[in-house]
Amino acid sequence: MTDGAIGVGVIGFGMAGEFFHAPILSVTPGLKLAAIFARSGERARELYPATRIVRSLDELLSDPAVEVVVVATPTHSHFALAKACLQAGRHVVVDKPFTASSAQARELIEVARSANRLLSVYQNRRWDCEFLTAAKLLQSGVLGELLEYESHYDRYRPQLGTSWKDKDLPGCGMIFDLGSHLIDAALTLLGVPQAVTAEVWTQRANNVNTMPSTSGCTIRGRAPV
């Protein structure tokens, strides 16, 4: 950008784009919300009148002001969009969950290396007060030897929702959606584990998710003794 700020383009203006990405990008020093790719609607234009609103990926990637792209779309579209942006020479931040499979994740990493571009995953829960408090306690050593760590989300919603998150699509379901936060927190706080075990169950009737969905998912880990 001519003013020295890094131009950022956001793909998608659903909940993630509108509430988690665009507001932060628009007020962060050194960054400029240069463009928003919203296929339809005028919500993005109403909230960000000074930002260019585009209707296609080609239009976004044709803008030289966009140096970094944030992919804030449904999970099943992350891989194709992120790959196209990397190949177009953009640095890319992908909203969690990163991709619908580890194979897709590995391929994106290789594409980023080949293109000499930065590739990252957006994990906003690392800045939640409870996470920061847990990290501070662990670093202080006040807890002594840590033998067990438990983290979970609890929510009462017995019926499936109507959004893409509850559809039978790759990368959908609570394991991908909220579970990715729990796994990221465990890895960030405790490091790479020696082994992993999991219990996955379905608690809602008529569940059609590709991965079993739960009203609450708990991840437990025990340090070796």
Per-residue pLDDT of the chain (225 residues; tens, 9 = 90+): 557 899 999 999 999 999 999 999 999 999 999 999 999 999 999 999 999 999 999 999 999 999 999 999 999 999 999 999 999 999 999 999 999 999 999 999 999 999 999 999 999 999 999 999 999 999 999 999 888 888 888 878 888 777 877 777 888 888 888 889 999 999 999 998 888 887 777 777 766 554 444 434 444 554 443
Phi and psi at residue 214, to the nearest 5°: -130, 150
Integer Cα distance of 59 and 76 in angstroms: 21
- Domain span(s) for CATH 3.40.50.720 in the chain: 6-122
Integer Cα distance of 17 and 214 in angstroms: 25
Integer Cα distance of 79 and 117 in angstroms: 15
Identify the CATH class of 6-122: alpha beta
Task: Write down the H helix ranges in 151-193.
Answer: 174-177, 179-190
- Can you say how many angstroms the Cα of residue 172 is from the centroid of all Cα atoms in its chain? 13
Q: Please give the helix or strand (H or E) that residue 125 lies within, else none.
A: none
